[in-house]
Structures are given as C-alpha cells and as structure tokens.
Amino acid sequence: MASWAQHRTGCLSEYYNGVEFVGNVLSFGFVGSREECEASCTRNPGCQFYTYYPSSPQTDPGMQQRCYLQYSTSLPSPTNITATEGAQSGMSQRDCCTGSQCLNGCADFIFQDTLFVGTIITSVKTYDPTICQQQCNQNPLCQFFSYSLHENLWCECYLKRSASGLPDNITSVATMFSGFAKQATEPGFLGCADLVLPDSEYAGITVLDVEVQSVEQCQQMCTSDGLCQFFTMLPGDTNTANGMSICRFKNAPGNIPTMMTYLENAVSGFSMQYNTVQKTLQNCSDLLYPDIEFSGVDVVQVLAVDADRCRISCTQNLDCKYFTFLWDETQNSFICKMRTSFLGIPDNIFLLPNATSGFSLNAESYLDCSALLLPHTTFSGSLIGYMMAPDVDQCQRLCTQNPPCQFFTYLSADWTLDERRFYCFLQSGNDGIPGSVIHLPNTTSGFTKPLSGLQFECITEEYNNLNFPGSDERSLKTDSYEECRSICTKDPLCQFFTFFSQTNILSDQTDTCYLKSLLSVPLPQIIKYSPEVVSGFPQRNCKGHTSDSPTDTLPSC
C-alpha cells in the first residue's frame, strides 16, 4: 500500500517532446502551437493532460496541429465484475451515516489549544472538556463550546452560539479546548468542515502530498479526493523550490484526526466533501426514442404520418407532455398517442418494436432528463471512457461523478459477450445530448444527474452472485455479509468489498471478506514514444500562471 503515500505535485510545468499520452479523449481540435494546446487544457476543467501534434514532415498530415485534451477515469468502481455463485458484493456505507458518525460530523473531536469565539450563553465549572461537551449537548441553545484550563479560568466551560451556527472567529490559545455540540452535526450542518485552524497539525494516515498556492486550494483538492478526510498545509519553511506549499491529505480509521498538535504557521482543516462542479442540464426532449413506448395518462389520440408530425401535434397541445407514435392495426393507420403524467416524465418505459416515442418541445415544460432510464437503447457520442458497474443505477452515479460525462450506455449481465458484461460507457456530445439513439437489446442508456450537495451517493444495494475481483486492500474472516460491510464502512481505505459465503474456487475462501480500494491519480493510462509529438499537463495549479492564448474554448468534434 506504499503507493497511497507517493508524492504528487500540483503543478507539472514540464512538457515532453517525442512522448504521446494516451487516455480518454475529452475533445480535440486544431491549434497553432503547443502553448495554445496547453492553455486550452488549463481552461477546460475536465482536462488532466494533453498531446499536441505539431506541423512537421514526420507527422501524419491528418494529425498536424491537432490538440487532444484528455482525461483519466479515476473513480472508485470495480476494475472487473464477474458472476460468481455464492459471492455477495457491495459498496462502503460511509455515505449512509448520520450525525457524528459522518465523515464531517466531527463532534467527537475536541480541538486543543483552540478558542471558538461566539456569543456566550452561560458558563459552568466542569471536570474536563468531555464533560463540557456534554453540558453543551444538553442545552438546546448551545452550538459549540470552549473549555479553559488557563490560570484564573481553571475548569471553566463556556457554552456558545452564533447566527451561522459556526464560531465567529477561531484563535490559537494555549490550554483552551473547543468543540461542537453533537446535535449540531446532524445532516445539513457542515460543522468543523468549515473550520480552518491556524498553527495546528492533524495526525492520521498520509494519503498524498500535493503542491498548492493557498489553504483554500488545499481544502478544495482534499474535498475532490475520495480518500482525503482532513488535511494539514505545512508551514512556510517547508515550501517547495517553486514557492508553493505542501498540502498533506490525511485520513484515519475513525474519520477524525487521531490527535492535534501545535505547529507554528501550519494550517489544518477538514474535507468539505462538497462538489462545486456544475453540469448543464441536458435537453433530452430534442431526441426521438425508437422501439420505445412511453406510458401515462392519455390526453388524445390523432392520426399522424410520422414521428416528427406526432411531436409537432404534442407540442401544440398544452396538456401533452410526451407521445408514442405507432401503427394501429384496428384503424389500419399510424396514430399518435399523446400522454401526460404528474411529473411530466413517463410513468413507465416499455420495449415496443416499430414504435417511436418523444417529448413535447414546449419550452415551458420542465423535463428531468436524469430520471429517464431507457431500456434496450444505446446512445452514441464521444467516448470519455468505460468502467465496470454492477447495475445501471451505479453506472449513472459514475457518470454523475465524472465531470465530462453527460450521458451513458450500460451493458447488462445478459449482454452476448462475457467480456463486455457490466460495462458502463461514459459519453459526451454537442449540447449535452447523444448524436443518435439506437435500439439494441440488453442495454440501458440515460443522462447524468446535476451535481448538487454531496458528491457521492449512498449505495445500499446488495449484489448477490457478483464478484468484484482485484484491487484487494486486505482480507479477513467474517461471519456474515453484514459484518463484512460494517468493516468496509469503518476502514477509510475501503471503497467496495466482496464476501464469499461458501466455497468458490479455493476452500479457504468460505466466510472471507475482501476489502477493495483503487488508486485514483489523474495520470495517462499509456505513454508511448512518438517523434514530433509533444505532451504535458494543465497549468491550473502553477503559481502566477497566465494564459497568453486566445480565450475561446477548444472546438469539440
């Protein structure tokens, strides 16, 4: 597991001549220089590295001056999924917790040598900071507290509150202890996730070291890393040669620091676990869906010559939200069934050969495209990458968590080729919609969800007879699937697991719990030697970076 602590820099300013980076292509276009290619990658939030093909006699004429913006998929999803009798697989339940059990519900952590400033409700004499916290818990007005062992204020417990529920100020004061009421960390309250403590160092397992320019950037990068629970930005005298500071990502089995120590000019804080990336909502009403019927409440039924005319009729009828165009044998003609529902999306979606369905183009009708999961349907678009997913819901989660992904296609367990079953293809397209929609058995397609609130959803599903091979962090004997899941939940490195309830291939696999984790670093999947090719990384994390290239975005094919 030594790879978790490998040093990772925030700014990779070098570029590499004669080297081709191969990853998932986010977009590509024609630019005049390597510098413009680099600037385009830097401006694009989904770009992690690039490859530029300059004009040269050695370069393929069709590739000259092409700039490829690329992305490496790095999400906690099984590297492989196989159907295995007796196996049970699942995901960590850390995102299902409530209150002080949550990653950021750090009410059990008391900050030493720290003073929380706020409005004092009352003060009482207590034995220690833990008793002070209990006093705060019992007072419905108390949101946080400070406990003093300082000279004349010996054993004084101050119960406090503020308009925001957070301290108005935080200062470093020797022999002071501060913390939150445990009820303050219920869902909806960030608690100490919003706190950044000066002159403090949090102890825990070091995940990664990253170069940063500010504590805000340190916290943002910790938040975007699936394993980082809290961080310490080291003091100025440990700065790197290029003038940037080291941000140390950390975690601990209890999800809070094992201890806090004084370290002058260091700054520590917690992952906010909030994703600030916003996605444009897709307009899936522009598409027609072949061999699909949308069910709902019938509005009216009319004759139509084709699906386009049916859509026009639906759009002109204010009560119509969606339609299905099909041949009616009783009337011996094509008909257009106009329908509606309470939510404005189909109540159910069925496979119906030779039918075509779609939505009203009425601009006033809101359509939640992320609620559509279309059976036996394949979307075409620019492939960002593919991952393994045990079901279509997890495939949609992977698309949502992957910033460039706008829509997806999932191959089910019934797919004809064994080696392609459980594949989740992450895709993007012009205006966020597929280039085409094709009927294909044993597939399901859908759209990303808009990112808001917590980045990761809670996955409670239990996947019977599925095995997540590889990426073992460790294994141990357990009595049940539930015990295996509980151990995975408590282990900060565990992202998913497989429990063998009976003998599979090896006799000693019975009642064995395998905890799994993946290294998630945005690096090229393959690097090849290629003359007259230049590759590099975006410069977003480089101190004083400015872009001299035009401000227009790189055109996408």
**Over the stretch 383-412, which tens digit does the pLDDT of each residue have?**
877 888 888 988 998 888 776 788 999 999
Answer yes or no: are the C-beta atoms of 154 and 104 closer than 8 Å: no
Taking the CB of residue 368, how many other CB atoms lie within 10 A of it? 15
SS3 category, 11:
coil
What is the Rg, in whole angstroms, of the alpha carbon atoms belonging to the chain?
28
Question: pLDDT tens across 336-357, in order?
Answer: 999 999 888 899 999 999 999 9
280 pLDDT exceeds 70?
Answer: no
**pLDDT given at position 157:** 92
Q: Can you state the percent helix, strand and coil of the chain, rounding each to 5?
A: 20, 40, 40
| pLDDT band for position 229 (cuts 50, 70, 90) | confident
Confidence tier at 135 by pLDDT (50, 70, 90): confident
Has this prediction a pTM greater than 0.75? no
Give me the amino acid identity at 120: I
Confidence of residue 382 (pLDDT cuts 50, 70, 90): confident
pLDDT of residue 326: 96
Helix (H, G, I), strand (E, B) or coil at 465: strand
What is the pLDDT at residue 556? Answer: 32
* pLDDT score recorded for residue 312: 95
Which residues lie below 8 Å from residue 237, measured CB to CB, with a gap of 6+? 265
- Stretch among 123-127, 189-193, 261-265, 470-474 having the lowest mean pLDDT: 189-193
What are the residue boundaries of the structural domains of the chain, listed by start? 2-72+522-536, 82-93+458-516, 100-270, 284-366, 371-447
Instruction: Choose among 24, 54, 51: nearest CA to 40.
Output: 51
In this prediction, residue 289 has a pLDDT band, given cuts at 50, 70 and 90, of very high
CA 19: distance to chain centroid? 30
Distance in angstroms (rounded) separating the CA atoms of residues 244 and 9: 10
- Closest by CA to 201, choosing from 245, 247, 240, 168, is 247
Check: CB of residue 364 under 8 Å from CB of residue 387: no
Given pLDDT bands bounded at 50, 70 and 90, which one contains residue 37? very high
For the chain, the average pLDDT equals 79
> DSSP E strands: which ranges in 74-125?
82-91, 111-117, 119-125
Q: What is the CATH number of domain 284-366?
A: 3.50.4.10
pLDDT, position 130: 82
Instruction: Kindly write down the DSSP assignment for every residue of 222-287, as one continuous string.
Output: HHHSTT-SEEEEPPGGG--TTSPEEEEEEE-TTSS-SEEEEEEEEEEEE---B-----PPP-GGG-
Query: In 448-495, where do the E strands start and end?
Result: 463-467, 472-477
> When comparing pLDDT for 418 and 241, which is higher?
418
402 vs 43: CA distance, rounded Å: 17
CA distance 491 to 498: 14
Per-residue pLDDT tens for 470-506? 778 788 999 999 999 988 887 766 888 999 887 555 6
Burial class (CB in 10 A: 0-12, 13-18, 19+), 172: middle
Look up residue 488 and give its two tokens.
Answer: 């995975």
Strands 512-516 and 496-500: antiparallel
Query: pLDDT exceeding 90 applies to what percent of the chain?
Result: 23
Q: Is the pLDDT of residue 533 over 80?
A: yes
Q: Residue 348's pLDDT is what?
A: 93
Which two tokens mark 551?
């401000």
121 vs 186, residue with greater confidence: 121
Beta bridge partners of 260: 202
Higher pLDDT, 59 or 114: 114
**255: pLDDT confidence band, cut at 50, 70 and 90?**
low
CATH of 2-72+522-536, one of 3.50.4.10, 3.90.1260.10, 3.40.50.300, 2.40.170.20: 3.50.4.10
The topology under which CATH files domain 371-447 is Hepatocyte Growth Factor (3.50.4)
The residues pairing with 349 across neighbouring beta strands, listed in sequence order, are 294
Q: Count the Cβ atoms, other than its own, within 10 Å of residue 303.
A: 13
Whether the Cβ atoms of residue 255 and residue 220 lie closer than 8 Å to each other: no
Name the CATH superfamily for 100-270.
Answer: Hepatocyte Growth Factor (3.50.4.10)
Task: For residues 228 and 237, give the distance between their C-alpha atoms in angstroms, rounded to a whole number.
Answer: 24
DSSP structure class, residue 444: E
- Rounded to 5 degrees, what are φ and ψ at 333? -160, 165
Domain pair 100-270 / 284-366, same fold: yes
Q: What's the average model confidence in pLDDT over 173-193?
A: 65
Calpha distance 502→85 (Å, rounded): 9
